[in-house]
Amino acid sequence: MPPAQAPLGGGGAAWRRLLLLLTVLPLTLATLAFVLQWRGGGVDDPTARWPPHAFPGMAEPARLSLPSSDCSDVLAGSSGASFPYLRGWSFPTDSGAGLGLQPKVCVQTSTSAGLEQILPWLFYHKVVGVAQFLLFVEGRAAKPNVAGVLESIPGVKVVYRTKDLEEQQASSRIWNETWLSGFFYKPCNYELFVKQSLNMEMAIVMARDHGMDWIIHLDTDELLYPGGAAEYSVRRLLSEVPHDVDMVIFPNYESSVERDNIKDPFSEVSMFKKNYDHLPKDTYFGMYKEATRGNPNYFLTYGNGKSAARIQDHLRPNGAHRWHNYAKSPNEIKLEEAAVLHYTYTKFSDLTSRRDRCGCKPTKEDVKRCFMLDFDRAAFIIASTASEEEMLRWVKILTSMKPHVEVFRLGRS
C-alpha cells in the first residue's frame, strides 16, 4: 500500500509569512525612526523651535537699577521687547527706534492703583503703539509686589514719591506762577491736581531726554482710543498731524454703566456717552435731560478731554488735561474721531472707596473745598454717610437702563 501523501500546506505557510511581515515591519520602522532621531537625521522636534525660557514665568525678568536723580538715563535699560505677562508677545518699545517706528509716544500717569487695573491699561496702550510709560506711583502702586512687576516690563519707568522727589518739586517754578495758584494748599482733589501737574513737569524732561516725540497724561481709568487712524495706532494717528501743530486734543467719552456688578470695567463696559465735540448739536440739546439723569452737568466728571503735546522747548503742563508753552501760544487741533474713553464710577468699590480718600467732613459746604465737581461731592457724602444698602440703591438709580436705551437709540452713546 503506497504511503499517504502529506497534506498541502501552501495556504498555511502564506499566512505565517504574512504574520511575520506584519510583525517585523513596524519594529523595523520604529528602529529606523529611533536611529534617525538619535543622530539628528531630519526629524523636526517642535519643542526645539523656541528657546527654553520663551514663555512667561520661566525666566527671571530683568530689573532696572538706575539713579533716581538722573533724568537723562531714566528710561534707558529697556533693551528687551518682550512683555513677560502676555505669553511672550512683543511690542515696539524704545528699542524699536532703529526699526523706524516714528513718532515715539510717551504716556505719563500718577497712580495709586493695583496691578489688576494697571496691567490691562499698560497692555492696551502697548498694543495701540505707545512706546514709553512714566508711572509716578504711591499707595498700592508703590508697594514692592506691585512696583516690582511694573519695573520688569520693558518701556516702563516707575518713579516713586520719595523725599528727594518732593524736595525737587518744591523748588519748581510752578509755585511762583498764577495759572495753578487757585489749587495750592487745598486738600483732596485740589492737592491731587497740583501733584499731577508737578509730575507732568518732570515727565517732560524725562521723555525728552530719551528722544520721545509726543507726551500724553492719562489716568489709569482712561484708555486712548485712536479712532480714524490706520491699524488703530496712536503712532500712525500722530504721524499724520501737521508739523506746525503743537498740541492735539482728544475729546473724552464717559462710560455709561449698564449694571451694578461690574468687576473688570475695561472688558465689561462697552457703552459710552459721546463728547459734545463729536455730536450734532440738535442731538446734544434734544437729549440733554435724558443724558444727564438729574446730574447738574452733562458728564458725571470732567468734560474737557485730554491732550497730547509735541515735546519741544519751553513746554509745560497746564493742569492735568492740557499743555502749554512758556514762549508761545501753542497751535492746537481737536481730533474728529479719536477720543479718551473714561471709565468713571464703573464699580461699586469706586463709590465706597471715596470715603477713605480725604478727611473732609461729609457736608455740602465742606466738600466744596475738597472736590471740584458736583458729582464727586455727592459721591463722597453718600459714601461717608449712607449704609451699603443705601449706596447700592443709589448706584442702581445711576445704572438704570431706561435712559441708556433711549439715548442709545439716537446714536448718543
β-bridge pairing 156-160 and 132-137: parallel
Q: Among the listed ranges 36-40, 90-94, 277-281, which one has the minimum average pLDDT value?
A: 90-94
Q: Report pLDDT for 306.
A: 98
Number of H helices, E strands in the chain: 13, 13
Burial state string for 160-171 with b = 16 or more CB within 10 A and e = fewer than 16: ebeeebeeebee
Q: Is 134 helix (H, G, I), strand (E, B) or coil?
A: strand
- Rounded CA separation 64/285 (Å): 52
pLDDT tens string 167-225? 999 999 999 999 999 999 999 999 999 999 999 999 999 999 989 999 999 999 999 99
Please tell me the predicted confidence (pLDDT) of residue 55.
31
SS3 at position 297 = coil
Q: Per-residue pLDDT for 379 more than 80?
A: yes
Mean pLDDT of 312-333: 97
Q: What's the pLDDT at 359?
A: 84
The one-letter amino acid code at 359 reads G
pLDDT in tens, 99-137: 558 999 999 999 999 999 999 999 999 999 999 999 999
The yes/no answer on whether domain 94-251+305-342 falls in CATH 3.90.550 is yes
Quick one: residue 77, left, alpha or beta (phi over 0 = left, psi -120 to 50 = alpha)?
left
What is the amino acid identity at position 297? N
Q: Name the pLDDT band for 97 (thresholds 50, 70, 90).
A: very low
Contacts of 47 (CB under 8 A, 6+ apart): none
Any idea where the domains of the chain sit in the sequence? 94-251+305-342, 348-409
Higher pLDDT among residues 27 and 185, named by residue: 185
Asked if pLDDT for residue 382 goes beyond 80, the answer is: yes
pLDDT computed for residue 89 by the predictor = 52
Cα(242)–Cα(246) distance, integer angstroms: 9
pTM tops 0.85, yes or no: no
Q: Burial letters for 139-158: b for 16+ Cβ neighbours within 10 Å, e otherwise? A: ebbbeeebbebbbbbbbbbb
Flag whether pLDDT at 98 surpasses 60: no
Q: Is the pLDDT of residue 408 over 50?
A: no
- Summarised one tens digit per residue, pLDDT across range 48-65 is 333 434 333 333 334 434
Residue predicted with more confidence, 293 or 151: 151
Q: Is the pLDDT of residue 37 over 60?
A: no
pLDDT for residue 20: 75
